[in-house]
Structure 1
């Protein structure tokens, strides 16, 4: 390299600045811009809407019944349905959740509250309470939520599916009966609000079956446990 070329190369290096390649600067600028866009998008996204499970009003209120006190135990729930997320399914092995809405409480708790209202209105018991209430009970109802989800496997708008396992025991712990209960109702359109309404309708039907199950396994009023 002659003297003229050496001076020209040194001048170019001086104009670019020492040790900062232009490609590295471009990558850094792009990364900063993408990060800023992500922050703006997260800041502008609205919080998830909170939805109730509308599962009440299907049973006519009645006078207190002859079967003592029923305590509804704190319900269990299978994995995938233990939080407030509203579940849906497009493929059999995969559970997804709506990003823009959530339940007001875990769905097992919402179902237990609705079951308390339904059984208190059925005229079977003198009183109905729900754990953690500290009451002496003649009967205990245990429930496990198996699933509560919007099913899109056959396409939209889909249908709500709910299933639970119920078991009734007396004061001595004797099992009077257990039953797997399930119900399904179509949604009017896609989306979490319609899914919640369909889930409420399905839960209403399931609670009617739950009351029938409990009534069917109770002993006669003058039998044991009264």
Structure 2
């Protein structure tokens, strides 16, 4: 009887501890938010201001990037989402002011506008974010950033040129924050290439009689 009573007390004590742990509130997950930024780009020094203007359409995004989720890949063809980290806004929305600042600082255009606007501009730039994900199938992990651009003559609605920019950047750490740092560097490089893309085709159109 004494042994049985001792075992009963141990069982009751275990159940009490179990019940207490169940009743304790579960700590909520701490969600971290990150901004998509770029490094400062040197402004172009031009002898005379450009007389042409450009309108940048609202940047579109492929469906998987039309949200604030931060994406990563551990296995080929399988895209996953970070559970405790996300972008502060949709990446395409954060990219828009960066594109405008890069083109304003390029010296290529007298005016850089965000569509829609009532002003009749010379050119129009349409952009689509097609990739932004962190790949863990290699070490160090890599950020892949893809942006598609269409450079259009506004009056004739003629597409002068289009190009897809794809930049890969190694992450300094194997986590979401490392991906953010790499995204900043990748964004800076994509903006540099986008400015050169506009510069090249602007020269071609201006040289055409």
| TM-score normalised over the length of structure 2 | 0.81
Backbone CA RMSD of aligned residues:
2.4
Q: 1:82 to 1:62 in 2, by over 3 A?
A: farther
Deviation at 1:61, TM superposition (A): 4.8
Correspondence for 1:76? 60
Match of residue 127 from structure 1: 111
What is the match of residue 112 of structure 1? 96
- Residue 176 of structure 1 aligns with which residue? 160
> 1:1-226 maps to which residues of 2 (within 5 A)?
36=23, 40-41=25-26, 43-46=27-30, 48-62=31-45, 65-155=49-139, 157-171=140-154, 172-218=156-202, 219=204, 221=206
Contact 1:56 1:114 in 2 (8 A): no
Q: Which stretches of structure 1, 4 residues or longer, exceed 3 Å deviation after superposition? A: 30-34, 61-65, 132-135, 219-224
CA distance in 1, matches of 2:137, 2:54: 39
Match of 2:37, SS state, is: coil
Count matched residues: 190
8 Å Cα contact 1:148-1:162 kept in structure 2:
yes
SS in 1 for 2:200: helix
CA gap 1:86/1:135 in 2 versus in 1, 3 angstroms: farther
Whole-Å Cα distance in 1 between the matches of residues 20 and 146 of structure 2?
48
**1:200 aligned counterpart, secondary structure:** helix
User: Gaps spanning 5+ residues in structure 2: where?
Assistant: 1-14
Q: Which ranges in structure 1 are unaligned for 5 or more consecutive residues?
A: 1-25
* Distance in 2 between residues matched to 1:31 and 1:62, nearest whole Å: 71
Contact 2:128 2:149 in 1 (8 A): yes
Instruction: Answer whether contact 2:167 2:186 (CA < 8 A) is retained.
Output: yes
Counterpart CA distance in 2 for 1:103 and 1:150 is 13
